[in-house]
Structure 1
Amino acid sequence: MPTTRTPAEDRSAVRTLLRLWPYVRPVRVRLLTAAFVAILASCTGLVIPLVLKWMVDGPVADRDPAGVWLGALYLLLLGIAEAVLFGIRRWLVARPLSRVEADMRADLYRHLQRLPVAFHDRWPSGQLLSRGTTDLMLLRMFLAFPLTFLLVNGVTILVGVLILLAQDWTLGLVILGPAVPVMVTCAIFERRYAGVARLAQDQVGDLTTVVEESVLGIRIIKGFGRHRSQALAFRKLSGTLRGTELRKARLLATIWAVIVTLPELAIGAALVLGTVRVADGGLSAGTLVAFLSTALALRWPVDSIGFLLAMSQEAATATERYFEVMDEEPEEETAPAVRPAASADRGLRFHGVRFRYPDAPPGSAPVLDRIDLHVRPGESMALVGATGSGKTTLTALIPRLHEVTSGRITLDGADITAMTRAELRAKVAVAFEEPTLFSAGVGDNVLMGAPDTAGAPELERALAVAQADFVHTLPEGPDTKVGEQGLSLSGGQRQRLALARAVVGRPGFLVLDDPLSALDVHTEAAVEAALRRVLADTTALIVAHRPSTVLLADRVALLSGGRIAAVGTHHELLRTNAEYAQLMSGSGEGEDER
């Protein structure tokens, strides 16, 4: 599972957000234009107090109705201009930012497909889902609003302060009095809010994982009556998240209390002082109205600082979480420029292979240790062993779902690490014990194991080999959509489709992980008969638990304690190896190395 940053950890929000630049760069012109338009709209609003000053000191003081109506027209035109400019800003950012979000989501999905299996073993799927949904939504919102208005409000405050000082520098200094405590409060708030925001987003990922697992495992939950315990676990996580969100709300309320209260007190003080000066004749009424109107116009830019800082910290956290995944090293796509010369060995061969999981404790024994095994060209070899002996792990090394710790594996004399993964996986087909089907047509699921040019003839042949003729009785035949994980089909049907997917591309090497475990006796016999014809032309390694599956193979390898303990025919090992005989008697079942 990925490590979670603690609130105490420090990082620069600006430096983190700058990592978004490659995605923002293509739309930078529209975003800069939108920011300029927003600044123009905001500054247009600051002209309104100046018009009010002119009206109060001019037409109102001179009792000129025509001048008052002219001033009202000016105010109306300024209000319309401000509204139109803000509308243009929103139109400018809507389309490009949806593109930025779509590009980031597409890059994340592509990167996840290229990351090794070891990465997916460590990361809960809910954490990945939350990064591709909630976090990217936060980033789009940040680019659309806080990013622009941090600049816009900063410029507005600067221009507004200059206008205040130009009107009356004494009152201007009164208004600027709270600036230092507000800045100190913002610095403290930003540091504290960053940790809480990260914690909340990580907890959203944990909650997403629980929901996803509950949906996918709904049959288990209902079958064992565990809905109450699952609901309790969900409530506990939900309550923890609620507590974190309340901490965020308290921090936001604190900074808002400071940011709103201090400027309001300053405006009140300026009002009292200005009124006294107007009464003494030291200040015109129009100047006081314009000053206070400008100060009130700056309330939103100042009040929004806390809100904008909070959204910026959440965006920085979302960016950090996004690039935690994007920074993971993907599987290498290309083979070495110079390939080692192939040896004379044909078929599939393991040369002193050792394997230890990357997250295994230091000093722990390897799962596989000094594996030497040769599957001859065109030969089928059964791999037999007790639970935890390493059978499934061994088969996962062939298509490089995991990388060997030491030693090497060769196909027809060529080291598999000298091939690209695409080239290797075009040679090797795999059928796992737990068949995974996607929410697509039955035919599409099967043809995933074939080249893009494969069509109906290849599909029909594969279905025949796997004895999956039930496909033609489905409502729409091979075009029938299967539900998520293929749960609308029985276990035996899913396993037959997975077997069809493995053989549809006529692979040179076939790896089958207990491919017949979910079949009934009659179907198993039919599948075995068809599979024998396929195995006659293929080099195959078959994980087997039952004698009927073992009898498909020409020879058998016994895996014990992470090593190859014996190799021979089924009958030879029954006579000469007590462990093998015990396994075949039915006392050893199952497979789960981890």
Structure 2
Amino acid sequence: MPGDSPDTASNTRTSAMTMLAYLQPYRRQIAYALGALLFTAAVTLSLGQGVRLIIDQGLTTGSQAQLRHYVQLFLLLVVALALGTFARYYWVTWLGERVVADIRRQVFNHLIELHPGFFESNRGLEIQSRLTADTTLLQAVIGSSVSVALRNLIMLFGGTVWLFLTNAKLSALVLVCVPLVVAPILLFGRRVRRLSRRSQDSIADVGVYVGEVLGQIKTVQAYNHQPRDKARFATVVDQAFAVARQRALQRGLLISVVISLVLGAVGLMLWVGGLDVIAGRISAGELAAFVFYSVIVGAAVGSISEVIGDLQRALGATERIVELLAARSDITPPAGGLKRLPSRIHGRIELHGLGFCYPGRPETPALDAIEMTIEPGTSLALVGPSGAGKSTLIDLLLRFYDCSAGAISIDGIDIRHLDPVDLRRCFALVSQTPALFYGSIEDNLRYGKPGASQAEVEAAARAAHAHDFISALPLGYQTRLGDAGSGLSGGQKQRLAIARAILSDAPILLLDEATSALDAKSERAVQQALDTLMRDRTSLVIAHRLATVQSADRIAVLDHGQLIAQGTHSELMHSCELYAQLARLQFDTRV
């Protein structure tokens, strides 16, 4: 079997060092666990001497008093073993749970700071699987398998020492058998390692597919797509099973070979030792103790061979987690020349030759040489056909991406010289698809301003014309929302998103089709609230319905990433053919 590649060995070292780094803060708890581990191992090994004394000093002598004395000693060792096992189990489990909690927190804290482009090029559900399934596996390994491995290593070495102390000749047979047992462990262990990584990936694929289908269950059922999804899911599950079967086959072969060799060696020792007892060279108690230690050593070797599979799976899981932690955000505070915005900005936005291409489409500019200035306190409406670059401009303002050419400045400061946290506090965003989270309505409204008072929350809801429908709910503002606000209509979700933006009281508003989900009556009411909110604030409004942007101070028309015209509604009707065409299509259909 060829050795591991340099990359594999490097990954193994990285994974091991990562685990050690997480364990390092808990040296005291590790000492407790190791102390209990050593204590229980010592007591277990002492049981062999208790068996020898019961046979040689109790049964062989025929003394009831001697037998009672050594049986009581044996039971005392059993009680000590039970207490030590309790301490070992508690502290080892504690370590597993604590370390995994730390890993989950660090991975989540790292992921939530990565730029949005990372999640567009990596499947979110697969990342979720790594954060849950892989860390659960690590918890099981750290909280159980490592303890079992260490315990059996101690039992292996301690039992081997007692074997030699009990009978050197029989112990020589053990040494002959050791290479026969270790060889298959090394042979099969590497195969199990590779299959364990593949198994974790296939399990992640199963979780990803389930989350994707169930998350879009209405679309699945609306198109009667269940039979195809069942067939595809069966394929994914069977692929995962095939990998798991290969891993189980390798582990099963490993365990079978080890058990056969170990127990075969025990049988050989019983035969040789039995001849020595018959010849009077050793006592029956010594043979019983030797068999006891042989079984302990054999069981330790067998258990270690099983645990190796778990440890290999843990290394695979750790590699996947390390990959997440190694991901770096493309959007970070500048290393030098960091600037800060004042606590209250004016809201002047300047675009200087702005250009941008998405990483997946480098040959197609999403924005091309945009020159524009938005004065403080004014409103700018962005209109144009789908794919013109309107939403991309908002993404660049929020610095979800960095522009490929040109620059964006806020109050004269290039946003690339700002900490993204400092930049984004200037904006309140209402997107076309309302982003609501599992929790109460009140929690969702406070999302942009956690310290807001109840009066401020209700005032924002009233301004967004959401207070009435919230009050009509059984628990009012404490009503719990389902995932993504399930249970509310599209218009209600949008009004909650608008109320959240109102509550944040940011100097720049970004409204991406903010009224698209509202009926005519609600749209009129919310538009009035937005008009009030937009007063004295810099506002960028994306809208396909031109009726909602006619009152904007200025309208910018985008097409294929280029700014082709600017002006008021009346000016553009005469100067911009594309705008006039869009207006005729919309207003004529309303006649």
- Same fold flag (TM > 0.5): yes
- Comparing 74-83 and 486-495, the one that deviates more: 74-83
Alignment-derived partner of residue 438 in structure 1: 437
Q: Secondary structure at the match of 2:358?
A: coil
- Aligned CA distance change for structure 1 residues 385 and 181 (closer, same or farther; 3 Å): farther
- Counterpart of 1:417, as a letter, is R
In 2, the alpha carbon distance for the partners of 1:529 and 1:75 equals: 86
Verify: 1:494 aligned to 2:493, yes or no: yes
Alignment-derived partner of residue 386 in structure 1: 385
Which residues in structure 2 correspond to 1:449-488 (within 5 Å)? 449=448, 451-468=449-466, 469-488=468-487
The answer (yes or no) to whether the contact 1:9–1:195 under 8 Å persists in 2 is no
In 2, the alpha carbon distance for the partners of 1:66 and 1:288 equals: 23
In 2, the alpha carbon distance for the partners of 1:529 and 1:217 equals: 34
- Comparing 180-189 and 433-442, the one that deviates more: 180-189
The TM-score normalised by the length of structure 1 is 0.91
Alignment-derived partner of residue 117 in structure 2: 118
In 2, the alpha carbon distance for the partners of 1:405 and 1:48 equals: 73
The answer (yes or no) to whether the contact 2:439–2:481 under 8 Å persists in 1 is yes
Alignment-derived partner of residue 348 in structure 1: 349
- Aligned CA distance change for structure 1 residues 341 and 448 (closer, same or farther; 3 Å): closer
Verify: 1:262 aligned to 2:257, yes or no: no
In 1, the alpha carbon distance for the partners of 2:334 and 2:460 equals: 31
The answer (yes or no) to whether the contact 1:436–1:498 under 8 Å persists in 2 is yes
- Aligned CA distance change for structure 1 residues 270 and 543 (closer, same or farther; 3 Å): same
Alignment-derived partner of residue 559 in structure 2: 560
Verify: 1:88 aligned to 2:87, yes or no: yes
In 1, the alpha carbon distance for the partners of 2:572 and 2:384 equals: 13
In 1, the alpha carbon distance for the partners of 2:518 and 2:561 equals: 29
Q: Secondary structure at the match of 1:504?
A: helix
Question: Which deviations, in whole Å up to 9, do the C-alpha atoms of 1:415-463 show, x marking residues without a partner?
Answer: 22222222222211111111111122223222323x3443244334433
1:203 shift after superposition: 2.1
Alignment-derived partner of residue 529 in structure 2: 530
Which residues in structure 2 correspond to 1:500-539 (within 5 Å)? 500-539=499-538
Which residues in structure 2 correspond to 1:336-415 (within 5 Å)? 336-339=336-339, 347-358=348-359, 360=360, 364-415=363-414
Alignment-derived partner of residue 592 in structure 1: none
- Aligned CA distance change for structure 1 residues 15 and 440 (closer, same or farther; 3 Å): closer
1:340 shift after superposition: 9.5
- Counterpart of 1:171, as a letter, is L
In 1, the alpha carbon distance for the partners of 2:130 and 2:470 equals: 37
Verify: 1:168 aligned to 2:184, yes or no: no
Alignment-derived partner of residue 322 in structure 2: 323
1:334 shift after superposition: 7.3
In 2, the alpha carbon distance for the partners of 1:154 and 1:364 equals: 59
In 2, the alpha carbon distance for the partners of 1:307 and 1:366 equals: 56
Question: Which deviations, in whole Å up to 9, do the C-alpha atoms of 1:67-112 show, x marking residues without a partner?
Answer: 2332222222222222221112112333343332222222222222
1:137 shift after superposition: 1.9
1:17 shift after superposition: 2.5
The answer (yes or no) to whether the contact 2:254–2:305 under 8 Å persists in 1 is yes
Q: Secondary structure at the match of 1:575?
A: helix
Q: Secondary structure at the match of 1:319?
A: helix
- Counterpart of 2:571, as a letter, is E
Alignment-derived partner of residue 97 in structure 2: 98
In 2, the alpha carbon distance for the partners of 1:379 and 1:545 equals: 20
1:19 shift after superposition: 0.8
In 2, the alpha carbon distance for the partners of 1:545 and 1:15 equals: 51
- Aligned CA distance change for structure 1 residues 50 and 493 (closer, same or farther; 3 Å): same
- Counterpart of 2:155, as a letter, is T
Question: Which deviations, in whole Å up to 9, do the C-alpha atoms of 1:5-46 show, x marking residues without a partner?
Answer: x9x955553541221233322322222222232222122222
The answer (yes or no) to whether the contact 2:445–2:503 under 8 Å persists in 1 is yes
- Counterpart of 1:467, as a letter, is H
Q: Secondary structure at the match of 1:388?
A: coil
- Aligned CA distance change for structure 1 residues 14 and 57 (closer, same or farther; 3 Å): farther
- Aligned CA distance change for structure 1 residues 444 and 49 (closer, same or farther; 3 Å): closer
- Counterpart of 2:465, as a letter, is Q
- Aligned CA distance change for structure 1 residues 557 and 107 (closer, same or farther; 3 Å): same
The answer (yes or no) to whether the contact 1:41–1:82 under 8 Å persists in 2 is yes
The answer (yes or no) to whether the contact 1:127–1:208 under 8 Å persists in 2 is yes
Alignment-derived partner of residue 583 in structure 1: 582
Q: Secondary structure at the match of 1:260?
A: helix
Question: Which deviations, in whole Å up to 9, do the C-alpha atoms of 1:561-585 show, x marking residues without a partner?
Answer: 2221222222222222222233334
In 1, the alpha carbon distance for the partners of 2:372 and 2:181 equals: 72
The answer (yes or no) to whether the contact 1:532–1:552 under 8 Å persists in 2 is no
In 1, the alpha carbon distance for the partners of 2:335 and 2:48 equals: 69
The answer (yes or no) to whether the contact 2:546–2:583 under 8 Å persists in 1 is yes
- Aligned CA distance change for structure 1 residues 151 and 476 (closer, same or farther; 3 Å): closer
Which residues in structure 2 correspond to 1:179-258 (within 5 Å)? 179-258=178-257
- Counterpart of 2:352, as a letter, is H
- Aligned CA distance change for structure 1 residues 41 and 345 (closer, same or farther; 3 Å): closer
1:398 shift after superposition: 0.8
Alignment-derived partner of residue 132 in structure 2: 133
- Aligned CA distance change for structure 1 residues 337 and 315 (closer, same or farther; 3 Å): same
In 2, the alpha carbon distance for the partners of 1:328 and 1:534 equals: 39
The answer (yes or no) to whether the contact 2:347–2:537 under 8 Å persists in 1 is no
- Aligned CA distance change for structure 1 residues 54 and 459 (closer, same or farther; 3 Å): closer
- Aligned CA distance change for structure 1 residues 540 and 312 (closer, same or farther; 3 Å): same
- Aligned CA distance change for structure 1 residues 562 and 554 (closer, same or farther; 3 Å): same
- Counterpart of 2:351, as a letter, is F
The answer (yes or no) to whether the contact 1:175–1:263 under 8 Å persists in 2 is no
The TM-score normalised by the length of structure 2 is 0.91
Identity %: 30
The aligned length equals 579
Structure 2: gaps of 5 or more residues: none
- Aligned CA distance change for structure 1 residues 287 and 502 (closer, same or farther; 3 Å): same
The answer (yes or no) to whether the contact 2:430–2:497 under 8 Å persists in 1 is yes
1:232 shift after superposition: 2.5
1:586 shift after superposition: 4.0
The answer (yes or no) to whether the contact 1:346–1:413 under 8 Å persists in 2 is no
- Aligned CA distance change for structure 1 residues 296 and 553 (closer, same or farther; 3 Å): same
Alignment-derived partner of residue 311 in structure 2: 312
Q: Secondary structure at the match of 2:439?
A: coil
Alignment-derived partner of residue 547 in structure 2: 548
1:397 shift after superposition: 1.0
- Aligned CA distance change for structure 1 residues 100 and 65 (closer, same or farther; 3 Å): same
1:333 shift after superposition: 5.5
- Comparing 486-495 and 143-152, the one that deviates more: 143-152
The answer (yes or no) to whether the contact 2:347–2:508 under 8 Å persists in 1 is no
In 2, the alpha carbon distance for the partners of 1:58 and 1:14 equals: 52
In 2, the alpha carbon distance for the partners of 1:48 and 1:129 equals: 47
1:558 shift after superposition: 1.6
Question: Which deviations, in whole Å up to 9, do the C-alpha atoms of 1:48-74 show, x marking residues without a partner?
Answer: 222333444444333333323322222
1:403 shift after superposition: 2.0
- Counterpart of 1:129, as a letter, is Q
In 2, the alpha carbon distance for the partners of 1:233 and 1:412 equals: 53
Q: Secondary structure at the match of 2:429?
A: strand
- Counterpart of 2:390, as a letter, is K
Alignment-derived partner of residue 155 in structure 1: 154
Q: Secondary structure at the match of 2:515?
A: coil
Alignment-derived partner of residue 332 in structure 2: 332
The answer (yes or no) to whether the contact 2:11–2:319 under 8 Å persists in 1 is no
- Aligned CA distance change for structure 1 residues 49 and 477 (closer, same or farther; 3 Å): closer
- Aligned CA distance change for structure 1 residues 536 and 587 (closer, same or farther; 3 Å): closer
The answer (yes or no) to whether the contact 1:438–1:445 under 8 Å persists in 2 is yes
In 1, the alpha carbon distance for the partners of 2:87 and 2:459 equals: 60
1:221 shift after superposition: 2.1
Question: Which deviations, in whole Å up to 9, do the C-alpha atoms of 1:252-295 show, x marking residues without a partner?
Answer: 10110111111111111111122223333443333222211210
- Counterpart of 2:457, as a letter, is L
